Amino acid sequence: MATTYGATSSAPKRTMSSTSSVATGIARTKILLLGQRRSGKTSINEVLFNALPPKQTFYLETTMRIVKHTYDTVIPLEIWDCPGNITVDTLGAPLSQFSALIFVIDIRDLYKQPISKLVEFIVAAYHDNPQIHVEIFVHKAEKLQEDDKIENFRQIQERVQDHLMERECEQMPYNFHLTSVYDHSLHEAFSKVLHKLIHSLPFLEDLLNVFCANSQSPKAFLFDAASRLYVATDASPVDSATHNLCCDYLSMLNAFGPLYRSPTSSATRLRIPAAEPSPDNPTPAETKDRFYPSAAASLHPSAPGTTLTYHSITPHLALLALVPTGVYEGRRGLLEYNVVFFREGVQEICAVEHEARGGSG
Amino acid sequence: MKKKVLLMGASGSGKTSMRSLIFSNNPASLTSRLGATIDVEQNHVRFLGDLILNLWDCGGQDAFMDSYLTTQRSTIFQHVGVLIYVFDVETAEMHKDLEYYRDCLDGLRQFSPEAAVFLLVHKMDLVRDRGAMFERKKKELMEHSEKGQGPVLTSITVFGTSIYDESLYRAWSSIVHTLIPNAAVLSKHLTIFAEACSATEVVLFERTTFLVIATSAAPPAAALEATRYERTSELIKAFKHSCSRVREEFHALEMELPEFSAVLDEMTKNTYVLIIVHDPTIETAALKLNIRMARRKFEVLQGLA
């Protein structure tokens, strides 16, 4: 653990180099959301960061001008939701400012126009900022049947490659993701984009690896609780089904909270009210955390079952882990001891990150 | 004890969809795969220990409806505990629906005048101003219900429902509540149990459907969210479905959230209990112990022991 803490000190230098203009407050990592009109850019943003039910995206208004959404998670994000007719020239900001470019393309748009526009942006982006991550979301996957879906996805990839070949830019790195707001594919794809933007990711992953190894956990995720994007996971491969289950579990817990909220007792629940200040400590006693929110769902009634644990780590982040039920029930104290260490590590990383970005306090 | 539940309404109004959601744990997104119901599909659902729901899902095409009202009249309308009549909120043929509905009420008056009637204005997710639309439909339906001759039916209740939100669970919880013989006794014991746990509230759910069977007496400062029971049913059912997709089975849940602590665990072999505690000094492990201690009593109450 000590070596991990030491290693975090290298993080600020890396993040500082990527901050361009610290005008006000903290430097945010910027993500550009591009795509044709009605390709689903605003839907993606609303479903992920404003908890809009997917069925309601139908009623969203067309975006007429660039809207900048800020979102705070392990790193502060600024997402630029652009109208469909935007070009490199009308963007009003150099592409070098952005850490990632997400191009959203409707899976049914096999035609020339959206693809050539996409290629235009890719080429311009690499010209201005070779470090930029280009991610292509082939979106609205739910609109097509399984076979057509794969076929269209393949064709769009092929056409983009052909266009880039013509421009002699085929060696540029970019990634394709098949997404839909109606299932977990959007969360998974956006999580993968997010991972590339988190400079402290290796340290978070190390902490998770240590946690898993010491808790007999086959899989653990560090989630951003509100958006249900996973910020980091341990080294074992991510199995979609497990990811989806954790995602659903988190959404259930998020929904449960407000259901039985009592207006009277909430205030004193989380914090022990400040006791009488001790004589040897003249400063006003800080209120102490009574507990960190946590939850556990046990699956399979029989003995070798799995328990899905949830532990709040920071106000934004939560640790979700699969733990054998035997371990959870028999050695819960040790498990929670591990969580405390994990929490301290993550909080330290977040503090360093916050400081490096010029946040106060 | 067997209770007969008639599920009727026009073809395509959503009868089989809601049945598959409530009783088979299928998600709303898969209901489009269901085919039309031919004639009557009978299901026996063991609900609580000694209560068996005999669910008659009656296909709604005109030819079937005509035969229910004529040749099969006595078979269909005899010994009915509950009639659930489903109306599609966006139907183009409201007049015809109402006509069949009135005929069914006549049949019920003739053979089972004691039956409770529930009217579900379904597919409410399709309309934008739900409140106003529901009030209008409710008024229309109540007016038509009074038109027939013969004895006045004891209870007619109207619900606006949709398979995409908790409203369906609200309606069905209230339907099964009328069928449970000892609901008041369960409620009384849940209140005692809640006191023993220092709990704000205790809710008892049926195991497979997760419909609310009984709750402890309303907490004194009853400022909790009004739709909490049906929302809980919906959330747990959705999570159970997520678990089944990874071939796991949901068993129990404990939570210490910023807002409250809760334990959801098996009470008897066909019920689940949810204990909600707001006092931060109560440990979930203590609640689990209390559930284990109370299990025997609730088995006796349900006639299982």
Closest Cβ opposite residue A256 in set B245, B250, B257: B257
* B25-to-A183, A254, B118 alpha-carbon distances in Å: 18, 22, 22
Instruction: Give which of B124, B253, B287, B291 to mutate to test A binding, by max A Cβ within 10 Å.
Output: B253
Instruction: Give which of A246, A260, A292 to mutate to test B binding, by max B Cβ within 10 Å.
Output: A260
* A302 in the same domain as A218: yes
* A150 in the same domain as A207: no
Cβ-in-10-Å burial (0-12, 13-18, 19+) of A82 comes to buried
Per-residue pLDDT of B222-279, as tens digits, reads 577 788 888 999 899 999 999 988 888 899 999 998 888 999 999 998 899 999 998 8
Handedness of CA A82, A84, A89, A90 (dihedral sign): negative
Check CB contact under 8 Å for A258 and B225: yes
Find the angle CA(A132)-CA(A65)-CA(A137) to the nearest 5 degrees: 40
Q: Closest residue of B to A244, CA-based?
A: B242
Averaged pLDDT, A327-335 = 91
Per-residue pLDDT of B99-133, as tens digits, reads 999 889 888 888 888 888 999 999 998 888 888 98
State the pLDDT at residue A16: 35
Task: Tell me the percentage of chain B whose pLDDT exceeds 90.
Answer: 32
* Residue A291 pLDDT class (50, 70, 90 cuts): confident
* A28 in the same domain as A107: yes
Check CB contact under 8 Å for A295 and B257: yes
* B282 in the same domain as B265: yes
The CATH number assigned to the domain holding B153 equals: 3.40.50.300
Give the alpha-carbon dihedral of A30, A35, A39, A45, to 10 degrees.
10
b/e map of B229-267 (b: 16 or more CB within 10 Å)? bbbbbbbbbbbbebbeeeebebbbbbbbbebbbbbbbbb
Nearest CA-CA partner of B208 in B51, B4, B23, B18: B23
B262 contacts on A by Cβ (under 8 Å): 256, 260
* Residue A348 pLDDT class (50, 70, 90 cuts): very high
| Higher per-residue confidence, A52 vs A7 | A52
CA distance linking residue A53 with residue A43, whole number of Å:
10
B253 contacts on A by Cβ (under 8 Å): 295-298
Interface of B with A in 155-184 (CB under 8 A): 164
* A191 in the same domain as A66: yes
* B172 in the same domain as B188: no
Give the alpha-carbon dihedral of A197, A202, A208, A210, to 10 degrees.
-170
Nearest CA-CA partner of B259 in A293, A59, A153: A293
b/e map of A56-70 (b: 16 or more CB within 10 Å)? ebeebeebeebeebe
Min Cα–Cα distance to chain A from B134, Å: 20
Strands B212-215 and B201-206, by their bridges, are: antiparallel
Q: Closest residue of A to B257, CA-based?
A: A293
Q: Is B291 on the interface with A (CB under 8 A)?
A: no
Range of the domain at A254: 200-259+289-356
The token pair at A7 is 């290693």
The CATH number assigned to the domain holding B203 equals: 3.30.450.190
Q: Are B206 and B270 in contact (CB under 8 A)?
A: yes
DSSP-assigned letters across all residues of A190-209: HHHHHHHH-TTHHHHHHHHH
The token pair at A19 is 């901050």
Structural domain count, chain B = 2
A300 contacts on B by Cβ (under 8 Å): 248-249, 251
| Higher per-residue confidence, A131 vs A112 | A131
- A183 secondary structure, DSSP code: S
Secondary structure class of B17 (helix, strand, coil) = helix
Cβ-in-10-Å burial (0-12, 13-18, 19+) of A267 comes to exposed
Check CB contact under 8 Å for B223 and A306: no
Task: Return the amino acid letter for A168.
Answer: E
Q: Using beta carbons and an 8 Å cutoff, which residues of A are at the interface with B? A: 55, 182, 241-242, 244-245, 248-249, 252-253, 255-266, 268-270, 290-291, 293-301, 305-306
* B94 in the same domain as B169: yes
Closest Cβ opposite residue B280 in set A241, A269, A294: A269
Check CB contact under 8 Å for A259 and B29: no
In a domain, residue A283? The reply is no
Q: Closest residue of A to B222, CA-based?
A: A262
* A227 in the same domain as A80: no
Per-residue pLDDT of A64-111, as tens digits, reads 888 999 998 889 999 999 998 888 888 888 888 899 999 999 998 877
Averaged pLDDT, A107-125 = 83
In a domain, residue A267? The reply is no
- B57 secondary structure, DSSP code: E
* B191 in the same domain as B160: no
State the pLDDT at residue A48: 93
Secondary structure class of B51 (helix, strand, coil) = strand
Chain-centre distance for alpha carbon B253: 22
* A219 in the same domain as A83: no
Q: Is B228 on the interface with A (CB under 8 A)?
A: yes
In a domain, residue A19? The reply is yes
A269 contacts on B by Cβ (under 8 Å): 258-260, 278, 280
In a domain, residue A276? The reply is no
DSSP-assigned letters across all residues of B112-168: -TT-EEEEEEE-GGG-S-HHHHHHHHHHHHHHHHTSS-SSPPSEEEEEE--TTSTHH
In a domain, residue A301? The reply is yes
| Higher per-residue confidence, A206 vs B208 | A206
* Residue A1 pLDDT class (50, 70, 90 cuts): very low
For helices A185-197 and A240-259, what crossing angle results, to 10°? 100
Chain-centre distance for alpha carbon B113: 22
What global pTM score does this model have? Answer: 0.86
B249 contacts on A by Cβ (under 8 Å): 299-301
* B175 in the same domain as B194: no
* A165 in the same domain as A69: yes
Check CB contact under 8 Å for A260 and B200: yes
Nearest CA-CA partner of A132 in A142, A121, A143, A141: A121
A257 contacts on B by Cβ (under 8 Å): 257-259
Range of the domain at B28: 2-179
* B150 in the same domain as B7: yes
Handedness of CA B235, B236, B237, B240 (dihedral sign): positive
State the pLDDT at residue A91: 83
Per-residue pLDDT of B168-178, as tens digits, reads 999 998 888 88
* A228 in the same domain as A147: no
Min Cα–Cα distance to chain B from A10, Å: 35
Cβ-in-10-Å burial (0-12, 13-18, 19+) of B200 comes to buried
Instruction: Give which of B128, B255, B289 to mutate to test A binding, by max A Cβ within 10 Å.
Output: B255
Chain-centre distance for alpha carbon A195: 7
* B160 in the same domain as B204: no
Closest Cβ opposite residue B249 in set A264, A290, A299: A299
For helices B228-245 and A240-259, what crossing angle results, to 10°? 170
Q: Are A7 and A53 in contact (CB under 8 A)?
A: no
State the pLDDT at residue A4: 37
Give the alpha-carbon dihedral of B264, B246, A342, A27, to 10 degrees.
-110
Rounded CA Rg of chain B: 20
* B11 in the same domain as B86: yes
* A204 in the same domain as A170: no
DSSP-assigned letters across all residues of A141-166: GGGS-HHHHHHHHHHHHHHHHHHHHH
Secondary structure class of A17 (helix, strand, coil) = helix
A182 contacts on B by Cβ (under 8 Å): 29
Q: Are B121 and B160 in contact (CB under 8 A)?
A: yes
Check CB contact under 8 Å for A249 and B242: yes
Cβ count within 10 A of residue B32:
7
State the pLDDT at residue B85: 93
Check CB contact under 8 Å for B242 and A244: yes
Q: Tell me: pLDDT of A146 over 90.
A: no
State the pLDDT at residue B150: 59
Structural domain count, chain A = 2
* A159 in the same domain as A14: yes
A249 contacts on B by Cβ (under 8 Å): 239, 242
- Mapping DSSP onto H, E and C, the string for A233-302 reads ECCCCCCHHHHHHHHHHHHHHHHHHHHCCCCCCHHHHCEECCCCCCCCCCCCCCCEECCCCEEEEEECCC
